[in-house]
Amino acid sequence: MHAIYNAIASHRTRFVSELKELLAIPSISTDPARVADMKLAAEWLCGHLEKIGLTSRLFETERHPVVYADRLDAKGKPVILFYGHYDVQPVDPVEQWLAPPFEPAVKDGVLFARGASDDKGQLFTHIKAVEAWLETAGSLPVNVKFLIEGEEEIGSPHLPGWLADHPDLRSADVVVISDTAQFGPGMPSLCTGLRGLAAFEIHVKTGESDLHSGSFGGAVPNAIQILTSMLNALHSENGAVNVPGFYDEVAEPGADELRSWGTLAHSDEEFRASAQVGVLAGEAGRSTLEKLWSRPALEIIGIRGGYQGHGHKGIVPATAWAKCSMRLVPCQTPAHAIDCVRRRVMSLAPAGVHVDFLSGHGSPPVSIPVESQWVESAVRALESGFNKKPVFIREGGSISVVTRFVNDYGMPCLLLGFGQPDDHIHAPNEKFNLDDFVSGIRTSAALIAELAKLDSTL
């Protein structure tokens, strides 16, 4: 690995400036005004992957293109599929950024830009690792594929179809993804579980139109009051989700896993401070790591109704709605969770009031078995790349397509996060530590060497 690590160290400045080029493209998948930029980012990646010695293709979808590239000349050796996403989150509130989000800038060894950590910067570690291998050894000891989508931040609506349509392109011995984070600075981590997601909306309608609050107030139902009391009833006093059946499918982590979480240096006070909140919340009797990693959550993510303009308006509002999102843990299914809340919400609806329950997108949770040769290789690679033994963690976030790889296709999947929990992903001033960027490239290069020692199972 020595020669490859030297190459990575000597190209650090160039690698960072190339990443800055990619970060300068405002590829916000949810913004219709950025469709051309999405295409530009995809084309940039195709061109870059070609330049380092891979064969690349751009696949159009109904929305944003999929980038695919490969180099498959290591006969009989394992095939690694690197997955990442080139789309980023919106930048608002943009006034809270200390520098413009699409003008990447390095300050004290930290790269600031939207997408620096989630996920362009982390994805780029794998591209640069492959490049360093090719430059140093002239060839790769494994077969590599890159699958880079532009719809991760909007729930990957078209990727499952693409995977089904291209079995030969998606097939691999192992999937490698860096779209999670380290447990903390200097704590290389292997993630063994992701929460799933299930979204829903509640719409309340009490009558045909808002009414005068003097002529009707106190004698007719108020849509906002009904909605908020229904929402309130979805949690109990002790912070648990108060929905019959909701916890039925929840699997408790094993004793070994819980014990190993207990050894992680977690401080509730530091966590509280990093979240910039005055107090922590949630289910009584559960540790913060359990709340984030192995317990489901139900969040009200938006609420609207009534008058929101200047001053006051004398009305009894006739309509109100709320958007909610649940984070699901192994072995919950979005369908069961949605069913349970739907029943609960409809049972809370007062007679004579119109309540609509709408279910949105869902994605099941994922868990990664640790007893595998793939995980052993990843542990060795992380230890080599960071000069430190990795820890096993889970994450509270979701990556929709991982459940396809793991649950639908039975593919082993390695979740190696190089970012930090305080990288401000999805928030103003997103950042990526450049030492983590370089350690990530080293890890990825070491992983290629480790996986080359294994037999292909294809």
Among the residue ranges 33-41, 104-112, 175-183, 223-231, the one whose residues contact ligand BES (CB under 6 A): 175-183
Please tell me whether residue 257 binds Mn ion under the rule CB under 5 A: no
- Choosing among Mn ion, ligand BES, none, which partner's interface includes residue 398 (Cβ < 5 to 8 Å by kind)? ligand BES
* Only segment of 179-187, 247-255, 303-311, 363-371 that touches Mn ion (CB under 5 A): 179-187
**Region binding Mn ion by CB under 5 A among candidate stretches 97-105, 171-179, 211-219, 434-442:** 171-179
Backbone angles phi, psi at 414, to 5 degrees: -115, 120
Pick from 28, 337, 399, 414 the residue near ligand BES by CB under 6 A: 399
Positive/negative CA dihedral, 137, 142, 143, 148: negative
Strand partners, 359: 200
Taking CB under 5 A as the binding criterion, the range among 12-20, 161-169, 175-183, 363-371 that sits at the site for Mn ion is: 175-183
Furthest-apart CA atoms within the chain: distance in Å: 83
Closer to Mn ion by CB, 257 or 436: give it: 436
Distance of CA 247 to the CA centre of its chain: 23
Within a 10 A sphere around the Cβ of 458, how many other Cβ atoms?
A: 10
The residue within the footprint of ligand BES, chosen from 56, 189, 332, 400 (CB under 6 A), is 400
Please report whether residue 153 would count as binding ligand BES according to CB under 6 A.
yes
Give the nearer residue to Mn ion in terms of CB position, either 23 or 340. 23
Shortest distance (Å) from residue 399 CB to ligand BES = 5
User: Which stretch, 277-285, 306-314, 393-401, 404-412, contacts ligand BES (CB under 6 A)?
Assistant: 393-401
Is 179 a binding residue for ligand BES by CB under 6 A? The answer is yes
Quote the CA–CA distance of 199 and 323 in Å, as a whole number. Answer: 8
Task: Please state the φ and ψ torsions of residue 83, each to the nearest 5 degrees.
Answer: -110, 140
CB contact set of 210 (below 8 Å; sequence gap of 6+): 306, 315, 316, 317, 318
Of 146, 128, 124, the closest CA to residue 419 belongs to 124
Beta bridge partners of 200: 324, 359
Residue nearest to ligand BES (CB): 397
Which residue in 87, 118, 131, 436 binds Mn ion (CB under 5 A)? Answer: 118
332 interacts with, out of ligand BES, Mn ion, none, CB within 5 to 8 A per kind: none
Check residue 450 for interaction with ligand BES (CB under 6 A): no
Nearer to Mn ion, 179 or 257 (CB): 179
Q: Which is nearer to ligand BES, 77 or 120 (CB)?
A: 120
Residue with tokens 């014990």: 259
Q: Dihedral (C-alpha) 425, 427, 432, 436: value to the nearest 10 degrees? A: -40
Of the listed pieces 3-11, 113-121, 255-263, 376-384, which binds Mn ion according to CB under 5 A?
113-121
Give me the 38-77 binding string for ligand BES, x by CB under 6 A, dash otherwise.
----------------------------------------
Of the residues 149, 173, 179, 430, which one makes contact with Mn ion according to CB under 5 A: 179
Give the count of residues interacting with Mn ion (CB under 5 A). Answer: 3
Q: Name the binder of 197 from Mn ion, ligand BES, none, CB < 5-8 A by kind.
A: ligand BES
Least CB distance from residue 152 to Mn ion, whole Å? 6
From ligand BES, Mn ion, none, interface partner of 125 (C-beta below 5 to 8 A by class) = none
| Cα(123)–Cα(56) distance, integer angstroms | 16
197 binds ligand BES (CB under 6 A): yes
Q: Does 70 bind Mn ion (CB under 5 A)?
A: no
Using the rule CB under 6 A, which residue among 395, 423, 430, 436 binds ligand BES? Answer: 395
Task: State in angstroms the smallest separation of the CB of 313 from Mn ion.
Answer: 38
Please identify which residue in 253, 397, 412, 440 interacts with ligand BES, judged by CB under 6 A.
397
User: CA-CA distance, 204 to 354, in Å (whole number)?
Assistant: 6
Q: Which does 155 bind (CB under 5 to 8 A by kind): Mn ion, ligand BES, none?
A: ligand BES
CA distance 11 to 1: 15
Q: Is 173 or 430 the residue whose CB approaches Mn ion more closely?
A: 430
Does residue number 430 form part of the binding site for Mn ion (CB under 5 A)?
no
Answer yes or no: are the C-beta atoms of 404 and 164 closer than 8 Å: no
Contact residues for Mn ion, defined by CB under 5 A: 118-119, 179
Residues that bind ligand BES (CB under 6 A): 118-119, 152-153, 155, 179-181, 197, 363, 395, 397-400
